[in-house]
Amino acid sequence: MGDYGDPPPLYPTNPTKEQVFSPTIGFNVGSLMSPSFAPSAPPDPGLDLHEDQTVQSNSYMPQSSQLTVTPTVVPADYFDPQDDANILRRAIKSFGTDEKAIINVLTKRSNAQRLEIADQFKALYDTDLINLIQRKLGGNFAKTIIALITPLPQFYAKELHDVLSGEVNDETVLVEVLCTLNNAEIKAIKEAYHCTYRNTLKSHLKDDTRVFRRLMFSLCNAERDESMAVDPLGATADAEALYNAEKEHWGSIDEYTFHTILCQRNYSQLKLIFQEYHKISKHDIEKTIKREFSGDRTQEGLFLDIVSAIKSPQGFLAKCLHNSMKGLGTNNRDLIRVVVTRCEKDMKEIKREYLFKNHGESLADAIREDTSGDYKRCLLALIGEA
Instruction: Please measure the distance between the N-terminal and C-terminal CA atoms of the chain and give it in whole angstroms.
Output: 28
Q: Is 44 helix (H, G, I), strand (E, B) or coil?
A: coil
Q: Which residues contact 370 (CB under 8 A, 6 or more apart)?
A: 325, 330, 335
Domain 80-150 has CATH 1.10.220.10: yes
Domain ranges of the chain: 80-150, 232-311, 313-382
pLDDT at 85: 98
DSSP 100-161: HHHHHHHTTS-HHHHHHHHHHHHHHHS--HHHHHHHH--HHHHHHHHHHTS-HHHHHHHHHH
pLDDT at 358: 86
Element (H, E) at 272: helix 267-281
Say yes or no: do domains 80-150 and 313-382 share a fold.
yes
pLDDT at 252: 65
Measure the CA–CA gap between 40 and 357, rounded to whole angstroms.
9
User: What's the topology of domain 313-382?
Assistant: Annexin V; domain 1 (1.10.220)
pLDDT at 26: 42
pLDDT at 48: 40
Measure the CA–CA gap between 306 and 171, rounded to whole angstroms.
11
Element (H, E) at 69: strand 67-69
CATH of span 232-311: 1.10.220.10
Over the chain (386 residues), what is each successive 10-residue block's mean pLDDT?
40 41 43 40 40 35 52 97 97 87 98 98 97 94 98 98 94 96 97 97 88 92 92 96 78 78 94 96 92 86 94 96 94 98 98 92 97 98 96
Is 156:192 a contact under the CB 8 Å cutoff? yes
- To the nearest 10°, the Cα dihedral for 307, 308, 309, 312? 120
